[in-house]
Amino acid sequence: MNDIANIEANILDKIKDCTDLKSLEDIRISVLGKKGILTENMKTLAQMEEQQRIETAKKLNILKSHIEEALGLQKNILQERALNEQLNNERIDVTLPIRPEIQGRIHPVSKIYEEVVAIFGALGFEVANGPDIEDQFHNFNALNMPLNHPARQMQDTFYINHDATVPFDMEKAYVVRTHTSGMQIRTMEKKRPPIRIIAPGRTYRSDFDATHTPMFHQVEGLVIDKTTTLAHLKGCLYDFVKAFFELDEIPVRYRPSYFPFTEPSAEMDIGCLKTKTELKIGAGNDWLEILGCGMVHPNVLKAGGIDPDEYQGFAFGVGLDRLAMLKYGIPDLRTFFESDIRWLKNYGFAPLDFSSLTGGLSNNGGQTR
């Protein structure tokens, strides 16, 4: 250690004169690296007398802080300079006319949303929207789902602590809604029958494979009045699938099933033709499950504040993503959320392809495929 002040001045001058980030990094390594000037001088402290060691260590630490500060300032200057050069070199003239290629595309899920709303809107349904974060009453309890129901387990449902200042309590925790069925209860609480609503929106479950994702889209339907029967449910859904798949006739069947919030419950199948390379809706002698439905359970009506002795109704639920896969031949659900512009150009729709029963639900005029 001959002259710490001269060493500092020499290093600081080199840092100040540095013109690129690579050179600056080389200087940092040569000074502060394992074999750097400052590191080597630190190693000599063990050979000094105690008083000299204390004074020298203090000076070396001050020198280190000055060098680190200078390196940081110069790095910021060089990064800002590099960014400005990049912006100048990659400047885009936004006043230029657009290319002939159509850039914007409507995502298939957004298109299916429009189609479903158009169909049920023509049938007299209103759209009801609600929160993605639900309390357990609206998501589970009011829908006649017992505490030991498998869907309430943490391997299937995402929970959020009701109070960040206390330990997690599963019974009090909020859930990221597992279905939009909670809107059935919220609608019954606010509106008296007759009720005719659909509740489309995002839903969340702990699942991920080719046909399941942690976040997906559903639409629930609810009809309540004094004279609604299972025949009305079957007629409503039959009209829906005919309009959605744009077919004059389509084979359908209903299989008995179980859902806590409906009684009786059923699953609806549509006729199809399955081959190794193709799935054709409305033809063939095979069947494809498409949605769940049933008559609203009396306990659900009671939870919504409606007298089950006076009113009855039906409900159904279907996945919008699954509808998109079936109608437009998309094989893997995970690709819906990968933000691949090539996928969107292939399966997306032109922005002006509006969905209506009179103009056509899935006008393919703007599609590239």
Q: Are strands 195-204 and 215-225 parallel, antiparallel or unpaired?
A: antiparallel
Global confidence as pTM? 0.66
Q: Which residues pair with 56 in a beta bridge?
A: none
User: How many angstroms separate the CA atoms of 109 and 358, rounded?
Assistant: 21
| In the chain, where the domains are located | 4-89, 108-351
Vertex 207 angle, CA 201 and 213, to 5° = 50
pLDDT tens over the chain, length 369 residues:
457 777 788 888 888 888 888 888 888 888 888 888 888 888 888 888 888 888 888 888 888 888 889 889 989 999 999 888 888 888 777 787 766 666 678 899 999 999 999 999 999 999 999 899 999 899 898 998 888 777 777 777 888 888 888 888 878 889 989 889 989 999 999 999 999 999 999 998 877 666 667 888 999 999 999 999 999 999 999 999 999 998 889 999 999 999 999 999 999 999 988 877 778 888 778 898 999 999 999 999 999 999 999 999 999 999 999 899 888 888 888 888 888 888 888 888 887 776 766 656 765 433 433
Spatial CA neighbour of 362 closest among 345, 344, 349: 349
Q: Which tokens belong to 101?
A: 């290629």
Any idea what DSSP says for residue 125? P
Three-state DSSP class for residue 225: strand
Q: Which CATH class is domain 108-351?
A: alpha beta
Q: Determine which helix (DSSP H) or strand (DSSP E) holds 15, and give its type and residue range.
A: helix 4-17
